[in-house]
Structures are given as C-alpha cells and as structure tokens.
Structure 1
C-alpha cells in the first residue's frame, strides 16, 4: 500500500507580516475559578496598509478555550490537527488547525501564547485566529510570519454567543477569514499516513495528565477511533458529535518557563516543539513507541519507530498532546 506524506521538508515562511495587533481593554475575569488567561482583552486595530485576505494556501489555526466553563466547544471535530498544550496554572489550551474543511463556527476562541509562534512556523503564512494576547507578547506576534486575526482586526468574523459568560463565549466564522479551505497540501507538518507499523501494544485507554487538566483517549472498536474525554468528561460538541481522532500522538517535549506571566503572576509555560525526543503513537487500538524530530522551526516534525522507520498515522484527525519529558 502506498504511504502518503503530506509534508517532508518545509521551504520556509516567506510572506510579509500581514497583521499587527495592539493591546485592548481588560476582559472580564474567568468564571468558576478558571484563571488561565492573561487578563488582557481582544486586540484592536489594523493598519491601513494591511490586507484582510488570507494568502492562497494558508491554513487556519484557531486557539480554543479548554477550561470547563468553555465547554461544550464548537467545530473541533472538523479540524485536521488538534494540538494540546499546558498553560498557566497547569491548565490546558487547544490549537485547532483547519486545511481540508471549515466548520461554520469555531470556538470558544481564546488568547495566544508564545509557543504558538514556533509551532506555526512549519506552515507557509498561516492565519492565526485568537482573542488577544498580553501586551509584552504583541511585538513578537507582529514580527512573526503569519497573519494574525482578532476581533479588532476583522470584527465581522467574530461574535459573542449567549450560551456562556465572557470570556468563554467568543466564536469565529472561518469563512469570513478565508474563502475556502486550502487542502491537504497546506498541511506541511511532516506527518506520514499509511499502514500501521508492525508490533505495538494493545491499548484500550490512555490518559495524559497536566497539573490541573487531563486528556483520556478510549479506543472504540465500533468507530475505529479514539474517543476523547477531558477532565473526566466525554468531549461532546454543541452539535452532539463526539470528538474522535484516528491518531493520537503523545509527544514528550521540554516545557520551560517563558519570559511572560499572566496578570495574576503565574508564569506562562513555553512548549519547545523544535528538537527531538520520545513519542507514543496511538492508532488502530494499539500504542507504538517511537521518536520525534524537528530540526528547525521551518521544518515539519518527523516521527519514526524505535528502529528508525517512518511512523505512519491513520487517515483522519490527529491529536498531538504535548507532555513534559
């Protein structure tokens, strides 16, 4: 059977910076004791010389709120890739990457982190949709080779829902940012898809824990997918669909302190996605031990088995959960 590689080597992001954002007003605080944000509001304004059309072939990455008050989420099952990372207070946040199809609505949308800029360098001029960022991070976003989109940049693409309290009720209409999905070729991740490696260990369920959050993936023979639960609750979206990726990657990385803190003084973790390390790949009801490598920030990430052969993923949605090595 043929093995498909959606990305082998990225050629580098060469576009001009298309967005600059400035600090906005203070958002209302988190509810229910969830204090994972920086306390800043949505960024406002776009320079007159900036365009509002995404580059041809641009993927859309959306920062998704993942505290209990933000659930159920919307549009998460349409993503090609979902990255999970640790944020302040040991909580989690998601980045959903869309290339092959856009849902009508995605959210709740939340703020960006410094780690996002390194992770997104693997794509050519990606569009990053987020609610805002703390003022000290904004200059780094300004310099990054991506198109930043916030409610202050493209107001008609974002709206506040009535189902949840602020700040957990900001939603995005992807079609207002990008006319149509760019397709598989835009997924310059390094991931390879094809038959499963030989061997592996049968796995019914796998849980990855952060200090104040956890993800559980349970294999479904009926669906041939991993059913997602977060913090002990099944991940069912607003339309009633259960989130169920075909492949789950547990990627062991360095998680260090960044130069930023939230307004409560909690340090923002920085997840290093350039380098190498250990990984487990869950597919077809089995776990396969392996390794990952990303040589530079403009490269995708290659995954190999323990004997150095390419690690193939199953066709369908991929979740990558970054966990501390």
Structure 2
C-alpha cells in the first residue's frame, strides 16, 4: 500500500539536540553559534510527494489534465468490430445489458485518443459506475434512463454535439463515433478525480493461487482472458489487434442485477446492475488469483476490497473490471 513515512532533516536535527540535552553529567555545554547550527536549505528541502493517476495508480510526472474523466459507452457485440480507442483507455468496466450481452464503459483521463467507438447508449447501471465529476459520451438512452442520469447530475454528450459523428462505411446503429481528443479540449475539470480503486504495489498482493486464464460469462456473451507476456490478453476481443486494452489486472466483481423497469426496442427487459453493497471479488494479476470481497457504500461510494487478512489493493496499472451477475453469471479460471 502507498503509505510512506517522511521525516524532515529539521526534525532530525531537533531530535538530536533533545537527546544531547538529556545526557548525564553536570558538564556545562558551551553556547553554539546560531549561524553554524541552523540547517541549510539543502538539509531542509525534501523531494516533492509523488502524485498518482486516479484510474491506474501509476505515478504522474506532469500536471493533471484540464479536462475531467471522459467515460465512453462502447458497443461490445460482433457488430462493433473493430472497436476503436480501447488501447488508450486507463480503465474499462464491462457491464450487463439486455439479452445477456455486455457493453463497455471505457475511461479516459491520462491519455485521450483521437477517435473512440462504436458509441452506444447509457444504462441506469452507469450511475454507479461513472465516477464523480466525469462526463459520459453516449448515443443517448431511453427517456426513463435519461431522467435518472440527469437526476444523478452526470453530464453527457451525444449525437448532434461537436465531435460526435457517423461513419458511413459502417451500418447503423454501430456507426456512431466520437472525436474524443477534440471533445476533451472543450471540457473543464472541477478539481482532480478521486482514486477509482484502492491502488497499491504488487508486493502488497497476497500470493493467491495460480490462474493463467479466466472467463467471465454474462449469459449470451463471455469474455476470456489469457495471461501472456506479463499482461492479460482478451482472446475474444472485438478490438483491432493493435488497439486492444493493455490489461495488467482483471478485477471480477460479482454483483446483483435488477430490472430497470422498461424493455428495449426488441422487447427484451433491460437489466440494471446494482453496484452497491457487497459481493465476492476475484483479482487476477501476474498469472495468479486472489479471492476477496468488495464493498461500496451506495451508488456513488468508493470501492473497497478486502480479504480475510485485511485490506486488498490493486497493483498499479491498467485494470479491466468485470461486473458479473451473482445470479445467472459465471466465472471460471484455470492454471
């Protein structure tokens, strides 16, 4: 975990003087020259505290971006192939939509690609997924969802706004894309975002058990990962080979799913992920898996992870989060 003890040189000098004053004997200590005992600027100056990216936990060397986190809703069916822009995301959250399929919430902050898509619609589930202060790029949503998103105070951008366009070489509705780099320049951040996950160092991670492959099954769709070359490769990704998300970790959270209260145009009931409360967690990193528990106080609470031994942190890096239904969803892994 990122807890560091910093002691200034001035504090060390003061401590040494105190110890000297507490020494035994009646010998008088001669007065010292104040100019010679004063700490130099080199002694009192300390390196600045490191700062970290909120969506990866990696150390940041420059200034924070002027734009907020931009979350783009991306289609995740064969019709989306090839997905564009996933390779530049800081983090991706995969969530259930109607019919047992999934949709992606791709998070951008430290790096913003030129183009992202295909862009699809929001769900009420996004209220508990999108971090405070972020803006969502979407193809819209059902009116009942828009009402809830607006009530939650989440700003969103859709077709008709500058930077959102149709690619006429693709078929609708899988042809909506966003010039994310241009869009982000017009957005203003209201402070720096909080950490999305509890970040830590790889050395903090419990040993766990060996697991070099895993599959998250949502019903009609499953996502499979293989640990290769120090990272996790999505072997059934719809992204172009050179534009896949560079996953250092895969975090599987088992979640409750309810009914959003309406049906999609095809007549399927729309599910709503209940990303609050508590549930089982599986953290895959370095070819191993650590079993634990996640908790979240309300829809907008911070995500906390733990094992029986105590707090669990995610090694800094790019993380793909699978929100797999606790009922009607499955997670399997193998050595």
Residues 208-257 of structure 1 deviation map (CA, whole Å, 9 limit, x = unaligned): 1111000001001x2x100013xxx34442x7333330010110110122
Deviation digits for residues 110-143 of structure 1 (CA, Å, limit 9, x no counterpart): 01101112222xx332101100111222222222
Unaligned 5+ residue runs, structure 2?
4-50, 55-64, 327-335
Q: Name the SS of the counterpart of 1:176 in structure 2.
A: helix
Pick from 150, 153, 159: which aligns with 1:142? 150
The equivalent position to 1:240 in structure 2, one of 222, 236, 242, is 242
The count of aligned residue pairs is 267
Establish whether residue 189 from structure 1 lines up as the match of residue 196 from structure 2.
Answer: yes
- Mapped contact 1:69–1:164 kept (Cα < 8 A): no
Q: Is residue 103 of structure 1 aligned with residue 105 of structure 2?
A: no
What's the Cα RMSD here? 2.5
Counterpart in 2 of 1:23? none
SS at match of 1:287: strand
Summarize the alignment of residues 1-325 of structure 1 with structure 2, pairs less than 5 Å apart: 2=2, 58-120=68-130, 123-152=131-160, 154=161, 156-179=162-185, 185-196=192-203, 197-220=205-228, 222=229, 224-229=230-235, 233-237=236-240, 240-309=242-311, 311-325=312-326
Shift of 1:56: 5.5
Deviation at 1:148, TM superposition (A): 1.1
Pair 1:6–1:242, CA change in 2 (3 A): closer
Kept after mapping to 2: 8 A contact 1:101/1:181 = no
Taking the aligned partners of 1:258 and 1:86, their CA distance within structure 2 comes to: 12
Relative distance call for 1:263 and 1:236 in structure 2 (3 A) is: closer
Seen in structure 2, the aligned counterparts of structure 1 residues 241 and 142 have a Cα distance that, compared at 3 Å, is closer
More helix by share: 2
Larger radius of gyration: 2
Contact 1:250 1:321 (8 Å CA) reproduced: yes
Higher RCO (C-alpha under 8 Å, 6+ residues apart): 1
Q: Distance in 2 between matches of 1:203 and 1:235?
A: 23
Query: Hey, which bits of structure 1, 4+ residues long, moved more than 6 A?
Result: 4-7
What are the Cα deviations for residues 70-113 of structure 1, in whole angstroms up to 9, with x where unaligned? 11100112111101011111111100011111011110100110
The equivalent residue for 1:46 is none
User: What SS does the aligned partner of 1:186 have?
Assistant: coil
Please state how far the C-alpha of 1:194 moved relative to its aligned partner: 1.1
CA displacement at 1:144 relative to structure 2: 2.2
Residue deviations 1:138-165, cap 9 Å, x none? 222222212111013x1x2111124421
**Could you tell me how far 1:187 is from its partner in structure 2?**
4.8
Unpaired stretches in structure 1, ≥5 consecutive residues = 8-54
Deviation per CA, 1:271-302: give whole Å up to 9, x if none.
01111111000001100101101112332201
Checking the alignment, whether the CA contact within 8 Å between 2:165 and 2:177 is kept in structure 1 is yes
Q: 1:198 to 1:138 in 2, by over 3 A?
A: closer
